[in-house]
Structure 1
Amino acid sequence: MSRDCDSLPENTIVVGCGAAGVDFLATVATYPKPDDKIRSTSFKIQGGGNAGNALTCTARLGLKPRIISKVADDTQGREILHELEVDGVSKEGTSPFTYIIVDSQTKSRTCIHTPGFPPMKPDDLPESNLLTALNGARIVYLDGRLHETALVVAHEAVKKNIPILIDAERLREGLDDLIKLADYVVCAARFPQAWTEASTVSKALVCMLLRLPNIKFVIATLGKDGCIMLERCVNEDPSAEEVVVDKLLESLEMRKNGSTHIPTCISSPVTKLHAEGIGTVCSRLYIGTAKNIPPSELIDTTGAGDAFIGAVLYAICANFEPEKMLCFAATVAASKCRALGARSGLPYRIDPCLASFMQ
């Protein structure tokens, strides 16, 4: 990451390619059992989709997002277009949508997703439109969906030296080709081990840096347990000690402050991190805590990961230090969780909870 300053250049453009849809959110007292008939306690229709949510977050934080996606000329499509500017509308088919059941008791959410049809293909994105979208872009974000089109976008971004951030939510078709082109990766908790088959998350992160030599950092988000980040160090210190990554992670965990009302970040020095059976990489390990939300204020976790990624995109554009970036992203994600749906709770740049980061 660049560490020159924390000021955000005007009109910073972020281009995203991926899912934009509609979420139908029903809150229930408890999750239904098979063959149950229950009533919702609240209901909301709101824009959704990983890319749509993350870019909405960046817009509220002050960036200028552009989205490459596909919707149909149907009711859902018109609702999506009402919230987002997209490249074009398909004349036939159905737009993507998701039914989301929010359990008031556990604060968990269950998603039933219906993909759009027909899916977006590279031919749906004229080269002139792609070049226009990427013109002046500071960073490109890919959520792992629409992989064929996303790969075209990624290759063009590489040609133009535009850095790429990949959302590795889970194993997806075509993700391996995309992730090889990434500069930054943000993973869901289970992805690193699923992708590398390593025995621990920390070993898996070492493995990812070794397999993906272009990656500057990789973050594994852990929900209420915060996140782990591994940052590659280009200038290796010959005198740096070799440390077993699992032991280093354990030592950092022991340094956590007992209070997580305010997100904190704990980091190691630049170290040669070793993962047994995998290899060694010169890097720096970070642990970020999540912001504690009182049960009475925790409404819905839908889209918390997208909010975290939107904040990371902002932090990269604003040249935040990693410690500041992780605390900022945790604060934005926590704010989102205080409202129903992926977008209602997303904070604006002027929100008081972000004041200390925007100075």
Structure 2
Amino acid sequence: MTTIAVLGSTNMDLVAYVEKAPQRGETVTGREFRTIPGGKGANQAISAARAGAEVTMIGAVGNDAFGLRLRDTLEHSGVDTDDLRTVEGPSGTAHIVVDDEGGNAIVVIPGANGTLDHLSPGDEGVIAAADTLLLQLEIPLAAVVAGAEAARRHGVRTVLTPSPARTLPPELLAVIDLLVPNQHEAATLTGLTDPRAAAVALLEQVPEVVVTLGAEGSLYAARDAEPLTVPAPPVTAVDSTGAGDTFVGCLAVAVGEGRPMPEALRWAAAAAALSVQRAGATASMPYRSEIDALYAS
């Protein structure tokens, strides 16, 4: 069993479902509202755990009802929360509008995640014991850099999802093994709108890149190989929230288990395809048996 540490955010997703997302200054009537545990860190942790990995979550929740539910959801999915601290104040929240085409728009309020600006005693040991460290950008950048540097010191593979997209410092990119942006994030990082050109440009900074392309699948590029496009299974999307995190968590599991990258990408794409057919982020994430069944079909 592969072992994964996740250093990242936990948020309660406050999700409004609408026919069409409102434009600036517009009010629309929604049909449903749900609170769903999420956050990119927690999403990736739950995805990896359900896919069969041993997962530890390093993060922070508030001392509120959302914090209790976030911790419970992680534990119920098999994630070790011994390094998920509780701090004074509110937990992080994500305010999400989902339209009838499955698209979404999100505003994140960091809350407790904003306190995660350094590694606490014991965090480096958790990272050192893992095969892979998953990182995102919904916590202060100082902690992301510290976590990646700790992973490099101990020979742990690092996977960074650069979301929300921002300029990344050279000292962070120098210790990242695999960068997984979506096509919009890749364009933000490089100024190039063509995913293939963006992926090739990013290879000047990191050794491997996977650009996720939504319904079109993913594009893999490495310094020692020609870029490879892997299609996604054709499905009808209900809600794309968390699909990218599902993909990353499952990709980390597949690579950690020693699968060749093309196979790992197809397996992760099957997981993401299952997730977009269900509402919510963590609520939509499939279990290993479901992924294996779709992958084999």
| TM-score scaled by length of structure 2 | 0.89
Equivalent AA in structure 2 for residue 220 of structure 1: V
Question: Once the 2 structures are TM-superposed, how far is the Cα of residue 15 of structure 1 from its aligned partner?
Answer: 0.5
Higher helix share: 2
In structure 2, do the counterparts of structure 1 residues 207 and 118 end up closer, same or farther at CA, with 3 Å as the change threshold?
A: closer
Moved more, 155-164 or 28-37: 28-37
In structure 2, do the counterparts of structure 1 residues 92 and 162 end up closer, same or farther at CA, with 3 Å as the change threshold?
A: same
Equivalent AA in structure 2 for residue 184 of structure 1: L
Structure 2 residue runs without a partner (length 5+) = 75-80
Considering only CA atoms, is the larger Rg found in Structure 1 or Structure 2?
A: 1
The 8 Å contact of residues 170 and 190 in structure 1, kept in 2 or not, is answered as no
Choose the corresponding residue for 1:316, options 231, 247, 255.
255
Choose the corresponding residue for 1:18, options 8, 13, 27.
8
1:80-128 deviations in whole A, cap 9, x for unaligned? 1111225243442221011211112x221121221115722445x433x
Partner of 2:198: 204
The percentage of counterpart residues that share the same residue type is 23
Partner of 1:293: 235
Partner of 1:149: 143
1:96 and 2:87 correspond: no
Alignment of 1:1-359 (within 5 A): 10=1, 12-33=2-23, 34-38=25-29, 40-84=30-74, 85=81, 87-104=83-100, 106-117=101-112, 119-122=114-117, 125-127=119-121, 129-146=122-139, 147-172=141-166, 176-198=170-192, 200-212=194-206, 215=207, 217-233=208-224, 283-294=225-236, 298-351=237-290, 353-355=291-293
Specify the SS of the correspondent of 1:154. Answer: helix
Equivalent AA in structure 1 for residue 132 of structure 2: I
In structure 2, do the counterparts of structure 1 residues 319 and 99 end up closer, same or farther at CA, with 3 Å as the change threshold?
A: same
In structure 2, do the counterparts of structure 1 residues 43 and 122 end up closer, same or farther at CA, with 3 Å as the change threshold?
A: closer
Structure 1 residue runs without a partner (length 5+) = 1-9, 234-282
Equivalent AA in structure 2 for residue 340 of structure 1: A
1:65-90 deviations in whole A, cap 9, x for unaligned? 11111111112211211112252434
1:12-70 deviations in whole A, cap 9, x for unaligned? 210011111111122123323534251x3233221111111011011001101111111
Question: Once the 2 structures are TM-superposed, how far is the Cα of residue 194 of structure 1 from its aligned partner?
Answer: 2.4
Question: Once the 2 structures are TM-superposed, how far is the Cα of residue 173 of structure 1 from its aligned partner?
Answer: 6.0
Superposition CA RMSD, Å = 2.1
- How far apart in 2 are the matches of 1:171 and 1:183? 18
The 8 Å contact of residues 122 and 152 in structure 1, kept in 2 or not, is answered as no
The 8 Å contact of residues 109 and 301 in structure 1, kept in 2 or not, is answered as yes
Specify the SS of the correspondent of 1:168. Answer: coil
Moved more, 51-60 or 174-183: 174-183
Post-superposition, which runs of at least 4 consecutive aligned residues in structure 1 deviate over 6 A?
A: none
Specify the SS of the correspondent of 1:338. Answer: coil
- How far apart in 2 are the matches of 1:171 and 1:151? 15
